[in-house]
Amino acid sequence: MTELPSLLILTFSPIRSDPRVLKQVELFKGKYRVSTCGYGDAPEGVDNHFALPADSRGWPSDKLGLVTRRYPRVYNGLTAVAAARRILPRGEFDVILANDLNTLPLALELQPRLGVHADLHEFAPREKEDDLKWRLFVAPFMRWLCRRYLPLAESVTTVSQGIADEYTKDYGVAAGVVTNAAPYSERDVRPVGTPVRLIHSAAGQRYRKLENFIEAMRDAPDWLTLDMIVMPNEPDYVAELKEKAASVPAIRFRDPVPYSQLVATLSEYDVSLVFLPPTNFNLKNALPNKFFEAVQARIGLIVGPSPAMVALVEQHGLGAVTADFSADSLRTTLHGLTAEKISEWKRAAAAAARPLSAESQVLAWQKAVEEIVTSQTARA
**pLDDT tens digit sequence for 153-174:** 999 999 999 999 999 999 999 9
Q: What percent of the chain has pLDDT over 90?
A: 91
Measured CA to CA, the distance from residue 49 to residue 46 in angstroms comes to 7
Neighbours of 275 (CB within 10 A): 26
Mean residue pLDDT of the chain comes to 95
Is residue 55 within 8 Å of residue 79, measured between CB atoms?
A: yes
Is residue 159 within 8 Å of residue 121, measured between CB atoms?
A: yes
Q: What percent of the chain has pLDDT over 70?
A: 98
Is residue 100 within 8 Å of residue 81, measured between CB atoms?
A: no
The mean-pLDDT minimum among 115-119, 282-286, 333-337 falls in 282-286
pLDDT for 378: 54
Residue ranges, comma separated, of all CATH 3.40.50.2000 domains in the chain are 6-178+362-379, 196-352
pLDDT for 17: 86
Q: How many CA atoms lie within 13 A of 336 on its CB side?
A: 12
Measured CA to CA, the distance from residue 188 to residue 100 in angstroms comes to 36
376 falls in which pLDDT band (50, 70, 90)?
low
The pLDDT tens digits for 244-275 are 999 999 999 999 888 889 999 999 999 999 99
83 falls in which pLDDT band (50, 70, 90)?
very high
Closest CA to 156 of 104, 112, 110, 109: 104
pLDDT higher than 50, residue 1: no
pLDDT for 379: 56
pTM: 0.88
Measured CA to CA, the distance from residue 104 to residue 19 in angstroms comes to 20
Three-state SS for 317?
coil
Q: How many CA atoms lie within 13 A of 375 on its CB side?
A: 11
Buried b (16+ CB within 10 A) or exposed e, 20-57: bbbbbbbbbbeebbbbbbbbbebbeebeebbebeeeeb
Mean pLDDT throughout 91-117? 98
Select from 3.40.50.2000, 2.60.40.770, 3.90.198.10, 3.90.550.10 the CATH code of 6-178+362-379.
Answer: 3.40.50.2000
Q: Which of 207-211, 271-275, 358-362 has the highest mean pLDDT?
A: 271-275
> Which fold would CATH assign to domain 196-352?
Rossmann fold (3.40.50)
pLDDT for 377: 60
Buried b (16+ CB within 10 A) or exposed e, 236-248: ebbeebeebbeeb
- Three-state SS annotation for 215-243: HHCCCCCCCEEEEEEEECCCHHHHHHHHH
What does DSSP assign to residue 119? E
Is residue 259 within 8 Å of residue 229, measured between CB atoms?
A: no
Three-state SS for 57?
coil
Neighbours of 133 (CB within 10 A): 11
Residue 172: exposed, middle, or buried by beta-carbon count in 10 A (0-12, 13-18, 19+)? exposed
What does DSSP assign to residue 70? -
Which of residues 19 and 81 earns the better pLDDT score?
Answer: 81
Is residue 223 within 8 Å of residue 194, measured between CB atoms?
A: yes
pLDDT higher than 80, residue 187: yes
Measured CA to CA, the distance from residue 117 to residue 365 in angstroms comes to 9
pLDDT higher than 70, residue 321: yes
